[in-house]
Each structure stands twice: as C-alpha cells, then as structure tokens.
C-alpha cells in the first residue's frame, strides 16, 4: 500500500484482472512441463525431482464421481491444492507477462494468486490491447478486467480510492458476502480457520 501511495498520480489509472478459470487451463502434461522449467531454475536437482514426483502423484489422484461413476480429470487442475496452479502462474508471469507489462508501459504489477492489480499510464496504455496480448499467448485463460471507475477500484479484498491526490484503502466485501466463518473445532487446516 505504501508503494501505491508513492507512484499513483492523476496521469495514472488502476485496473485489476482475475483469472476466472485458473484450474482449468492446463493439461497434466503441460503442468508437468511448466513446473519442471520453473523448479529447475529455483531448486537443486534432488529437490526438483522430489517436487516433480509429488506433482505426478497429485495429478494422478484427480478423480471425481457423478451418479456413482468415477472419472479421472485429465484436463485442468483440481481445486483444493493450489500449488500446481501457483507454479503455472509463476511460469506464465515470468515467461510472458513481464515482457507484456514492459510493452504496455505498466507502472506496477502486483499479484496475489489469481488476482492482479495493475497501475498504468492513462494516456499510453490500452488495457483491451493488453487482454488481447494475453489471449494470444494463452487463449484458454479467461481474464476478467475491472477498470478504475470514479477513482475507485475494488481488488484483492480492498476498495482503493483516490481523493485529493491521496490513496485511501478500505475493506471491500462483494454483494454475496455472508460473514460465514469456519468453526474452530471443524477438521480443517488452522490457516483456513484463522483466515476467516
């Protein structure tokens, strides 16, 4: 938030985009190939082999049932274990998005899992062209774009507004927000309980 306060002025705009189908965009072969490329640059050979073994196991366990018939998921990633999806995003950002942000003169690109906040020059950058460039790289990705409107942008659970050259932040709740929390005695990771 400190960074936003320092770089956004009247010539800049805020936008956010969300990857709506992050878990449905890769075949298992693509996932393994992407993960291998990322892991090789970040970890030792033994760690990479171990992590790839875990992903093979994870991807081979993607089953669902419908009308008492079991199916193995071949395309896309199952929800609930986001690590392969996060590695895919890292691969996508490092391999493609970095160059696109330079080409479109972005001032800032901030992401958390599949929600992205962008700061761009109002006079130079066409966000629709940015979306088209992303679509050319990965047509399976479905990105939703939200542009700043009346100096307000809702992104990453925040309502970001600009008033008199000052940035203000508030908690943003979607209209579907229900204030339902996870009971602490339920069988669920503690991290999930603390996050609600």
The predicted-structure confidence for 44-99, as pLDDT tens digits, reads as follows 777 778 877 877 777 777 777 788 888 877 666 665 555 666 777 777 777 788 88
Per-residue confidence (pLDDT) for residue 60, from 0 to 100: 74
Same domain, 119 and 149: yes
What CA–CA distance (Å, rounded) separates 51 from 1? 34
Residue 4 confidence class, pLDDT cut points 50, 70, 90: low
**134-151 pLDDT, tens digit each:** 888 777 777 888 999 998
Same domain, 161 and 122: yes
Residue-number span of the structural domain to which 155 is assigned: 2-17+82-171
Same domain, 103 and 61: no
Same domain, 35 and 96: no
Count of the separate structural domains present in the chain = 2
Per-residue confidence (pLDDT) for residue 111, from 0 to 100: 80
Same domain, 92 and 159: yes
pTM, full prediction: 0.65
Same domain, 36 and 117: no
């Amino acid at each position: 938030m400190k960074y936003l306060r320092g770089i956004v002025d009247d010539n800049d705009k805020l936008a956010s985009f969300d990857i709506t189908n992050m878990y449905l965009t890769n075949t298992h072969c693509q996932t393994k190939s992407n993960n291998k490329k990322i892991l090789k640059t970040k970890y030792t050979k033994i760690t990479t082999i171990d992590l790839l073994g875990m992903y093979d196991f994870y991807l081979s366990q993607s089953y669902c049932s419908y009308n008492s018939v079991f199916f193995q998921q071949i395309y896309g990633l199952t929800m609930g274990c986001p690590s392969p999806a996060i590695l895919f995003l890292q691969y996508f950002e490092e391999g493609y998005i970095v160059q696109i942000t330079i080409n479109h003169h972005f001032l800032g690109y901030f992401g958390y899992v599949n929600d992205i906040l962008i700061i761009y020059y109002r006079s130079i950058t066409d966000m629709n062209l940015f979306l088209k460039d992303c679509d050319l790289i990965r047509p399976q990705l479905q990105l939703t774009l939200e542009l700043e409107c009346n100096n307000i942008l809702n992104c990453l659970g925040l309502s970001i507004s600009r008033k008199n050259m000052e940035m203000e932040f508030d908690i943003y709740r979607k209209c579907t927000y229900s204030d339902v929390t996870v009971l602490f005695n339920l069988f669920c990771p503690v991290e999930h309980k603390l996050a609600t």
